[in-house]
């Protein structure tokens, strides 16, 4: 009897292995590429604004079923799977780019003598990093997806498979995505025309310089609903600590200083505003907290990785010469040769640093393996991408210091390595989730792997243009030309760390203070990375995210709804995409020298109550969609 409990039945996918169902078609590739471009642009905008990205798999699958059914009177489940595979690839690629590339803009604005990469160069980085992540993950598929089925849940991949299998719900669910997209687009258009206020802030008299605010925008509400109340509350705790505790403390103890306190070199703390204190002091504390949070996330992932490698070593290597349709990968020769060629192509990013090839190959292989395993346990949203990228940058920068590689060339080369590895990490997590979806529905892995390459090509076509447009229009550093820049938190952190290590001018006191705060939070049994991100970002972003999370909490309280059947997630995805697309359109308008702010003042000073009413309607619309 014991023997029977050990032996598990072979998994039977939704579409049988012997089926010849239509899968990769021209229309699925085109539709997936179009949706991939949309979600790449949306996630690039969202990531630069708040430092978070969201999965495109479920909304892409729902929209695919709706479009193929309405426009083409058909569409198989395997076609829809190819569409979401391509669409989600671009979204992951965007995450890797926006976490790193804006650092070049930050250095350029600071006069570091570093050129901003061209749109074509950003596309090249995207292709190299994306291809590396896909190729290095393919040999892990059988171990992680097939052999450990039941051990690694791959939550996003499983939820997406549920959506595809429950395809008869596609039409109703797709309407929620489109209504969310329309709502987010109209709301962003009203804020862009200065009819609605984008942020509201209240300053307290006691303690001095303490403040609390909210960024009342649709994307943050959508993000809050998707990530849930626990993570949002942890982020809010970090934001509140910064605005209600650290800023007033620095203002109180530094207010009597008669000379500027480093790192500020020109202004007295007594003459600085709350936001200036946050920017000059609290931001470095937040950078230290994010660094330590990323390190903790990485360290906590190592035991599961070692267990996985142990299983792989202990299993007898069963080499199947016959490959069934649902278990066929790209040829090993293609994978090995492709990996070698892509790693060598990375050399063109920094020809003066030959070390770039082994560093990209070593860090890429290690962290692709970690990423592919971790997303199977905790999902892509909890994948410690920042921690792995920080480890790559610190290791690279310290090696450069030992070899005497410094200055602008060393900084640029270190960031290029970090960018390629970061994109590879993000892509490895994405293809792992996609292959899990394919495993459950009965897709052909080889065709999905080919589809991933279509996805990175589609994403690469637009991501460099979006970063360049937003960087030139809004900027990533506050100055006279960019009074309200995009935050780009991860890229700011990468810039601080690389510059600090290579130049030996890192603000270690503030950085260590932040690291100690993150360590204390970990002692409470709380994941410190979310707290650290909240501390690093302006508090208004965390408050905006929390409002969406509260809607999620109250709607889901007392009922069990799978992610695949949650209308709130679909509506939230639409909110994010709608706001992002209009935000990019507004950037194009600004680049052309035009503005919509001539509408400003038409409400006769009633913008604040109108904004509150509009924001309340936005929350109500999300609540209705979720119920």
| Average pLDDT of the residues in 552-570 | 72
**How far is C-alpha 479 from the chain's CA centre?**
26
pLDDT at 599 over 70: no
pLDDT at 172: 60
What's 479-520 look like in SS3?
CCCCCCCCCCHHHHHHHHHHHHHHHCCCCHHHHHHHHHHHHH
pLDDT at 6 over 90: no
Residue with tokens 């820049």: 485
- The span from the CA of 247 to the CA of 239, in Å, is 11
pLDDT at 167: 66
Say which DSSP state 241 is in: I
| Strand partners of residue 215 | 199
- Average pLDDT of the chain is 83
pLDDT above 90: percentage of residues in the chain: 31
Half-sphere exposure for 483 (CA within 13 Å, toward CB):
0
DSSP output for 433-478: HHHHHHHHHT--HHHHHHHHHHHHHHHHHHHHHHHHHHHHHT-SS-
Q: Is pLDDT larger for residue 529 or for residue 275?
A: 275
Condensed to tens digits (0 to 9), the pLDDT of residues 379-401 reads 666 566 877 888 888 889 889 98
pLDDT at 216 over 60: yes
pLDDT band at 154 (very low <50, low <70, confident <90, very high): confident
The b-or-e profile of 45-54 (16+ CB within 10 A means b, else e) is: bbbbbbbbbb
Does 514 sit behind a cis peptide bond, omega within 30 degrees of 0 on the bond before it?
Answer: no
- The span from the CA of 314 to the CA of 147, in Å, is 13
pLDDT band at 162 (very low <50, low <70, confident <90, very high): confident
Measure the N-to-C terminal CA separation of the chain; round to a whole number of Å. 46
3-state secondary structure of 214: strand
| Average pLDDT of the residues in 361-383 | 77
pLDDT at 4: 40
| Average pLDDT of the residues in 77-95 | 89
Most confident of 189-198, 292-301, 367-376, 426-435: 426-435
- Between 424-428, 514-518, 525-529, 554-558, the lowest mean confidence (pLDDT) is in 554-558
Q: Is the separation of the CB atoms in 536 and 244 below 8 Å?
A: no
Does 130 sit behind a cis peptide bond, omega within 30 degrees of 0 on the bond before it?
Answer: no
pLDDT at 382: 58
Q: Is the separation of the CB atoms in 297 and 527 below 8 Å?
A: yes
Condensed to tens digits (0 to 9), the pLDDT of residues 311-349 reads 545 544 444 445 688 888 898 899 999 999 999 999 999
Residues 6+ apart with CB under 8 A from 151: none
Residues 6+ apart with CB under 8 A from 89: 36, 130, 427, 430, 431, 434, 451, 452, 454, 455, 456, 458, 459
């Amino acid at each position: 009897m014991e023997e029977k409990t050990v032996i598990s039945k072979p998994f039977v996918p939704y579409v049988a292995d012997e089926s010849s169902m239509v899968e990769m078609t021209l229309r699925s590739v085109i539709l997936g590429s179009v949706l991939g471009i949309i979600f790449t642009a949306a996630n690039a905008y969202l990531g630069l604004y708040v430092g978070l990205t969201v999965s495109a798999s479920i909304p892409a699958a729902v929209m695919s079923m709706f479009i193929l059914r309405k426009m083409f009177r058909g569409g198989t489940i395997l076609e829809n799977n190819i569409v979401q595979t391509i669409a989600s690839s671009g979204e992951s690629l965007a995450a890797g780019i926006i976490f790193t590339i804006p650092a070049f803009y930050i250095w350029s604005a600071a006069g570091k003598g570093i050129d901003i990469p061209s749109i074509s160069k950003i596309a090249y980085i995207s292709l190299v990093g994306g291809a590396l992540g896909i190729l290095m993950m393919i040999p892990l598929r059988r171990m992680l997806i097939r052999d450990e089925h039941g051990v690694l849940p791959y939550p996003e991949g499983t939820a997406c498979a549920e959506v595809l299998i429950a395809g008869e719900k596609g039409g109703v669910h797709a309407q929620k995505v489109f209504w969310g997209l329309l709502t987010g687009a109209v709301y962003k258009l009203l804020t862009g025309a200065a009819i609605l206020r984008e942020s509201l802030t209240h300053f307290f008299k006691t303690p001095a310089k303490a403040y609390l605010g909210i960024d009342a925008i649709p994307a943050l509400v959508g993000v809050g609903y998707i990530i849930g109340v626990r993570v949002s509350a942890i982020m809010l705790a970090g934001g509140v600590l910064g605005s209600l505790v650290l800023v007033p403390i620095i203002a109180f103890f530094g207010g009597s200083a008669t000379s500027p306190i480093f790192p500020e070199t020109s202004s007295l703390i007594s003459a600085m505003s709350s936001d200036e204190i946050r920017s000059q002091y609290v931001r470095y504390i937040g950078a230290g907290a994010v660094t330590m949070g990323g390190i903790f996330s990485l360290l906590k992932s190592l035991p599961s990785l070692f267990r996985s490698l142990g299983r792989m070593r202990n299993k007898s290597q069963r080499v199947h010469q016959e490959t069934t349709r649902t278990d066929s990968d790209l040829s090993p020769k293609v994978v090995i040769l492709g990996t070698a060629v892509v790693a060598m192509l990375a050399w063109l990013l920094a020809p003066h640093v030959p070390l770039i090839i082994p560093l990209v190959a070593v860090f890429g292989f290690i962290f692709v393996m970690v990423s592919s395993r971790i997303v199977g346990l905790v999902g892509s949203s909890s994948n410690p991408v920042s921690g792995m990228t920080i480890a790559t940058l610190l290791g690279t920068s310290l090696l450069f210091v030992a070899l005497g590689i410094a200055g602008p060339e060393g900084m640029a080369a270190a960031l290029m390595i970090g960018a390629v590895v970061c994109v590879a990490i993000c892509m490895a997590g994405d293809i792992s989730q996609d292959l899990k979806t394919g495993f459950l529905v009965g897709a052909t892995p080889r065709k999905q792997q080919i589809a991933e390459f279509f996805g990175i090509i589609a994403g690469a076509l637009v991501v460099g243009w979006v970063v360049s447009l937003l960087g030139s229009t809004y900027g990533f550093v506050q100055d006279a030309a960019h009074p309200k820049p995009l935050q780009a938190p991860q890229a700011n952190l990468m810039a601080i760390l690389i510059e600090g290590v290579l130049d030996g001018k890192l603000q270690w006191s503030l950085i260590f203070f932040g690291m100690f705060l993150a360590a204390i939070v970990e002692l409470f049994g709380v994941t410190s990375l979310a707290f650290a991100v909240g501390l690093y970002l302006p508090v208004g972003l965390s408050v905006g995210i929390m409002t969406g999370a509260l809607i999620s909490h109250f709607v889901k309280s007392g009922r069990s709804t799978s992610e695949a059947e949650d209308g709130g997630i679909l509506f939230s995805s639409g909110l994010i995409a709608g706001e992002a697309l209009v935000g990019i359109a507004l950037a194009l308008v600004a680049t052309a020298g035009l503005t919509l702010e001539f509408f400003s003042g038409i409400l006769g000073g009633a913008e604040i109550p109108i904004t509150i009413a509009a924001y309340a309607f936005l929350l109500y619309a999300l609540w209705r969609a979720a119920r």
